[in-house]
Amino acid sequence: MKVFKFGGASVSSAPAINNVATIIDMYPGKKAIVVSAMGSTTNALEDLVRSYFKKDNKKAEIFQQIRNYHDGIIRELGISEENLGQVNELFEQLEERLERTPSLQFDYEYDQLVCYGELISTAIISAFLNEKGLKNKWVDIRESLRTDETYREAIVDWKWSAMLVNNNFSFNGVDLYVTQGFIGSTTTNQTTTLGREGSDFTAAILGNLLNAESVTIWKNVPGVLNADPVDFPETEKLEELSYKEAIELSYSGAKVIHPKTIKPLRNKNIPLWVRPFDYPDQAGTVIHEVGHQLDLVPVYILKKKQALVTLSPDDFSFISIDVLSEVFALFKSRRIKVNLIQQSAIDLSLCVDEPEVGLESLVVELRKKFDVRYNTGLVLATIRFYNDASLAKMKDGRQVFMEQKSRRTARLVLK
Ligand SMILES: Nc1ncnc2c1ncn2[C@@H]1O[C@H](COP(=O)(O)OP(=O)(O)O)[C@@H](O)[C@H]1O
Ligand SMILES: N[C@@H](CC(=O)OP(=O)(O)O)C(=O)O
């Protein structure tokens, strides 16, 4: 069997969803289809959660916008009313949840509402495919994918999930399953999410647990390129990548693949195809075990919304292991990801994901013990397989705050 994953961009309109049907038809054989929320529905649901949590008066309006967007797609797809029972029920559930008083736990409430993006998109797509003669079974992945209770960033319970996934995706009399990416549930049936853009990871989990022959993630690009085409006008497609190279690129911030996607596939030696949704007969990029040294062109990755925080102990003491562990514990408790560090005798610089809120209060906390300087709105640029020309190109016209080089990788903090 194969796993296919269609992201938000690939299911954002009726023509796109028609193309999903075309692709499924093009590739016969047993398949599990993992689907994300339509277009930018997850962002809209995030606005809805904020409004619900703050108890302001915008939630009805945001809910209606989400409903109208989906209704428009349903109309254009021409799905008949008698097959829309589940979609209507999901919208009713969401509306009903919005009437409840929220608990005090934002991350918990977030997961209970944001999951509807994926639940609704898959219900629509499953109904549409069935009407088109592509008979499929809709599966609520929350009954298979068990996680811990880290809401918004849940950790998968592989043992439980292995058993449940194999029961619920048995392929007994079913050739095509349609299910949700990004969501799961705890052993007490509370909904969780795996972290933004986590549907690629769901596809990899299913691939691993079902011993898929391959996993394909359909994207709005020709494959993995040597840079994000949004930031770089000229890019080159990479024909193949090793698992190691792919994990390095995605971890550094190449948004084409969620970083957690690689490990479950590498561990079972399952190839991952990144293929163009608009040109489904083109090969795209394959990520697999590569026996030889890859000779790649420089690959550029930009991680935006970075802050550079530099700390110096007040009393002129060294940056010891105790200081490091204290600082890292503080960042960990605030769930702030550290992406790059540099230290000298009495300076410690950390390039971190700039938190949406709370940087000021972190700085206040740090100032109890350290002299603190910081800059925000920076970019962490990574160049794999860098050379002089690629370094010069990256620095051109920008202010360099920090620079680190290893044999293959250069990392620059820039403004
Ligand atoms: N190295 C890269 N190669 C290809 N795309 C990249 C790269 N880095 C970032 N991207 C971005 O990743 C996006 C992923 O495609 P998309 O279809 O939006 O995924 P999904 O809908 O599954 O989240 C592309 O639109 C592109 O802008
Ligand atoms: N819908 C979720 C999960 C996801 O992976 O979406 P996409 O495949 O469109 O990146 C998000 O937007 O984060």
169 and 313 in a single domain? The answer is no
Residue to mutate (ligand 1; options 221, 287, 300; most atoms within 8 A of CB): 221
Residue 346 within any structural domain of the chain: yes
321 and 201 in a single domain? The answer is no
Q: Say which residues have a Cβ less than 8 Å from residue 328's Cβ, sequence separation at least 6.
A: 338
Given 193, 219, 245, the domain boundary residue is 219
Residue 108 within any structural domain of the chain: yes
Instruction: Find the farthest-apart pair of alpha carbons in the chain and give their distance in angstroms, rounded.
Output: 73
Residue 353 within any structural domain of the chain: yes
Asked if residue 327 has pLDDT above 80, the reply is yes
Given 184, 219, 254, the domain boundary residue is 219
Given 161, 192, 219, the domain boundary residue is 219
Closest alpha carbon to 286 in 213, 195, 233, 180: 213
189 and 79 in a single domain? The answer is yes
200 and 349 in a single domain? The answer is no
> Ligand 1 mean position to 314 CA, how many Å?
44
Residue 290 within any structural domain of the chain: no
Count structural domains, the chain.
2
> Ligand 2 mean position to 201 CA, how many Å?
10
Residue 258 within any structural domain of the chain: no
Q: Which atom of ligand 2 is nearest to the CA of 40?
A: 12
Tell me if the pTM is above 0.90: yes
257 ligand 1 Cβ < 6 A: no
Q: Which residue has the CA at smallest separation from atom 4 of ligand 2? A: 197
As a whole number of angstroms, the distance between CA 72 and CA 68 comes to 6
Q: Which residue has the CA at smallest separation from atom 11 of ligand 2? A: 197
CATH code of the domain in which 106 resides: 3.40.1160.10
189 and 56 in a single domain? The answer is yes
Tokens of 291: 């026996």
202 and 316 in a single domain? The answer is no
Note the pLDDT tens digit of each residue in 99-139: 999 999 999 999 999 999 999 999 999 999 999 999 999 99
219 ligand 1 Cβ < 6 A: yes
Residue 150 within any structural domain of the chain: yes
Residue 39 within any structural domain of the chain: yes
Q: Give the domain range for residue 358.
A: 299-414
Residue 283 within any structural domain of the chain: no
304 and 208 in a single domain? The answer is no
59 and 182 in a single domain? The answer is yes
Mean pLDDT of 350-357: 89
Q: What proportion of the chain, given as a percentage, has pLDDT over 90? A: 86
214 and 322 in a single domain? The answer is no
> What residues does 340 pair with on adjacent strands?
351
196 and 306 in a single domain? The answer is no
Sheet containing 2-6: give its strands across: 137-139, 176-180, 31-35, 2-6, 214-219, 272-276, 285-288, 240-242
63 and 170 in a single domain? The answer is yes
Report helix, strand or coil for 238.
coil
> Ligand 1 mean position to 276 CA, how many Å?
10
CATH code of the domain in which 357 resides: 3.30.2130.10
Note the pLDDT tens digit of each residue in 372-407: 999 999 999 999 999 999 999 999 999 999 999 999
